[in-house]
Structure 1
Amino acid sequence: MATITHIELRMIDLVPKVKRVDAIQTFVSQETPILTVYDSDGASGTGYSYTIGTGGPSVMALLEHTLAPMLTGRDPDRIEGIWRDLLFATHATAVGAITSLALAAIDTALWDLRCRKQGLPLWKAAGGSREKVPLYSTEGGWLHLETQALVDDALAMQAQGFRGSKIKIGRDHLSEDDARLGAVRSALGGGYEILTDGNQGFTLSEAIRRARVLEEHGIGWFEEPLPADDVAGHMQLAQHTSVPIAVGESMYSLSQFKDYLQMGAASIVQVDVARIGGITPWLKVAHMAEAFNVMVCPHFLMELHLPLVCAIPNAKWLEYIPQLDTVTNGPIRIADGHAIPSDEPGLGIDWDWDAISRLSEVKTVKEGA
């Protein structure tokens, strides 16, 4: 039986290539912990997570001082057992973002190691449901952009075969959101999906008011209209509109998704593999959503979510926001508006280790160190 011998920790800051503004924040930084686990057979697996903005050093400290030392000497193929042990060891700080992001870096590395040793790509190892998934674009729909820029980007994506675009909403007055969405719908026609994202920026009464406008434009979903912990509010909103309610990027446990699904407060589940704590809990959320006949459309992390949405039967979309271009040897494969997962063993991410080394320092955690 192989055992884990040591772990390497790095953090890189991936500054967004374009200005990203939504209803509550501007993205100026993307601190990205990267973790590589090595076993006694000489094999390795690499995983990662991320923060939008700051907080990365806190994740790294939890990994270096608490979680990574608990991995050495363990059987890396016992992924579920390791995940449970690490969660219990940090129960005083769970459920929460920092713990989940740290667990995700470890869990994704262990899945990468398992898949590499088995000679399987993640999309097959985790289920192998489909060979491609349709894309929608978010990069051209930010809140600060002028209306013509929204239209031009959506037309460009449509010309590339994309099936939809997401538009950030939350301008000061309803009429502004109405005009922006109306211009995109008029230019793109009825066959192109327009999705909207409120980024938790509304009260319930204002969300109900804005949802009526979304209905008029045939909007595909209303994402994060309210604060993520307001389950009852989302349930009430869902009862007041025909627009599907999409939530999940700001949830950190299986139980939180269970509450939303049981109460009929979510029509689209946007579970984020980093924020839920890794591939192990991500798959549980996806299969639970399937039991409720609810589709999964994950948030961000396009490169890692690609094999996961192809592993399950109830994934409708993959969100197109390039994240890793500067630290990988090539972008994901896209054909006719669909993303195609890699058939290489592992997560399917071809890391550019020279670029990563230039951007980070490595810390090694060994048994007894």
Structure 2
Amino acid sequence: MTVRQAGHDGVVDRVEVTLVDMPLGAARGGSGATQLQLVRVKVTADDGAAGVGFTYSLGPGAEAVAALLEAVHMPAVLGLPLQDWDRTWYALRDRTSRLGAGVALLATSAVDIAVWDLRAVRAGVPLFRLLGAHREDVPVYGSGRATHGMSTAELVEGALSYVAEGYRAVKLRVGVHPPAVDVARVAAVRAAVGDEIAIMVDANERLDLATALWMGSALTELGVAWFEEPLPSAHVRAHLTLAAAAAPPLAVGEHLLGLGGFTPFVSGGAAILMPDAPLTGGVSEFRRIDALAEAHGLAVTPHFLPELHVHLTAAARSGTWLEHFPLLDDLLGEVLTPVGGRVAPPQRPGHGMVWDEAALDRFTVRTALAVR
């Protein structure tokens, strides 16, 4: 265990950026993605302690993130005292503001996660404790055994397998089949799992307002816990209309970048915010989104990536559910295993994610290294 030395705040001595491009085989989840590009950032301090962060794209495009990291972020971070990162986060945002929130914020997210991991490693504590643990474990919902390509019988089988493993909630997808067919599929799962199991429904931004209004009413009758991403995230006014109608609570956020992306939804457009730390600004911005949710009485449940997000959910004042979805499993040497529908953060210093270095090497297409 590396413990922070008294009186030594640490300086970044080494930054490594790796671009990984991995096929996913069968389409994952509701997005239909068959390719994962991962950009991993490893930051090493002058005492030898290291932290790892990452961002990703479902499909091509992460090459642009890697290039920006090499051109802008690596020079900004190399030689940086760790105590100065928080203001450097904002300096990088200001420096890249004309690029928009997309690629630039993804790059900053990866560095931010690496710095927070390093801070916790040097402090000798798990990340959720460094952030201020509000709970020791979190409830998990099963999200990886429901796709549009599955038959209704397969959806039911997947949901029942989660229940048999102790999960108390499952997520289903809608938006590809005709609305009445999608509702019938959800109804079949409800009949199979009973009323005690929570069901979340995700449309992946595929519906228009009229369809979402009709479907929301039907899903309310089925006792759905939340209606996720029913509409394109840019359509804020439509979300307000839907939220005011007979619909389950709305969940938004996996496609929103930065605190400003969430702000329009907190006054009636959503009940659940779903930030994705590697996309929306890292641990730092996730904490600010949690504070925004707390101020408005909303819930926070992050998108994907349970091995990282378990720490942030446990530390979030407004944290609720953790999504268990196997996006990174092929690149990890250790994955979370829920027990009784709950999971606790690893007790190792930092975020405790264990990477399969051989798998990363196999799919690595680009590496950049900067040393002080």
Same fold, TM exceeding 0.5? yes
* 1:59 counterpart (65, 87, 94): 65
| Residue 17 (structure 1) shift | 5.7
Contact 1:134/1:339 (<8 A) preserved = yes
The amino acid across from 2:217 in the alignment is R
| AA of the residue aligned to 1:307 | H
Amino acid of the structure 2 residue aligned with 1:181: V
Alignment-derived partner of residue 212 in structure 1: 217
* Matching residue's letter, 1:62: L
Q: Is the 8 Å Cα contact of residues 134 and 314 (structure 2) preserved in structure 1?
A: yes
Q: Is the 8 A contact 2:174 2:202 kept in 1?
A: yes
Aligned position for 2:287: 283
* 8 A Cα contact 1:48 1:104, kept in partner: yes
Give the counterpart letter for 1:225 in structure 2.
Answer: P
What SS does structure 1 have at the residue aligned with 2:16? Answer: strand
The residue identity in structure 1 corresponding to 2:209 is L
Partner residue of 1:165? 170
The one of 24, 28, 50 equivalent to 1:16 is 24
Q: How does 1:80-119 map to 2 (within 5 A)?
A: 80-95=86-101, 97-119=102-124
The separation in 2 between residues aligned to 1:7 and 1:176, in whole angstroms, is 50
- What are the residue-to-residue correspondences of 1:112-127 with 2, within 5 Å? 112-127=117-132
Q: Distance in 1 between matches of 2:235 and 2:134?
A: 33
Partner of 1:346: 350
1:275 match: secondary structure:
helix
Q: CA deviation at 1:11?
A: 1.5
- SS of 2:17 mapped into structure 1: strand
Distance 1:57 1:131 in 2: 37
Of 284, 294, 300, 2:298 maps to 294
> What's the RMSD between the two structures over aligned residues?
1.5
Q: Following the alignment from structure 1 to structure 2, what is the Cα–Cα distance between the partners of residues 62 and 68? A: 9
Post-superposition shift, 1:246? Answer: 0.4
Matches within 5 A, 1:226-265: 226-261=231-266, 263-265=267-269
Per the alignment, residue 4 of structure 2 pairs with: none
Q: Is the counterpart of residue 46 in structure 1 residue 52 in structure 2?
A: yes
**Structure 1 position 202, deviation (Å):** 1.2
CA distance in 1, matches of 2:286, 2:16: 24
Structure 1: distance between partners of 2:269 and 2:213: 14
Are 2:145 and 1:140 equivalent residues in the alignment? yes
User: Could you say if the C-alpha distance between residues 14 and 130 of structure 1 is closer, same or farther in structure 2, counting changes exceeding 3 Å?
Assistant: farther
Checking the alignment, whether the CA contact within 8 Å between 2:15 and 2:370 is kept in structure 1 is yes
Q: 1:176 aligns with which of 176, 181, 196?
A: 181
TM-score, normalising length: structure 1? 0.95
Shift in Å, 1:21: 5.4
Partner residue, 2:82: 76
Aligned residue pairs, count = 363
For the residues of structure 2 that align with 1:21 and 1:324, how far apart are their CA atoms?
13
Structure 1 residue runs of 5 or longer lacking an equivalent are: none
Aligned partner of 2:95: which letter? A
Contact kept? 1:333, 1:341, Cα under 8 Å? no
By how many angstroms is 1:342 displaced? 0.4
The aligned residue for residue 5 of structure 2 is: none
Q: Deviations over 1:168-203 (max 9, x none)?
A: 101342220121011101000001111101111111
1:347 partner SS: coil
Q: Is the 8 A contact 2:22 2:363 kept in 1?
A: no
Pair 1:316 & 2:335 matched: no
Contact 1:48–1:105 (Cα < 8 Å) also in 2: yes
- The residue aligned with 1:334 is 338
Distance, in Å, in 1 between the alignment partners of 2:183 and 2:346 is: 40
Aligned amino acid, residue 336 of structure 2: I
> Aligned residues: percent identity?
33
| d(CA) in 1 for partners of 2:160, 2:281 | 36
Structure 2 length normalisation: TM-score? Answer: 0.94
CA shift at 1:18, angstroms?
Answer: 4.2
How far apart are 1:13 and its partner, in Å?
2.5
Query: Counterpart of 1:300 in 2: which secondary structure?
Result: coil
Note the C-alpha offset of 1:321. Answer: 0.6
Match of 2:14, SS state, is strand
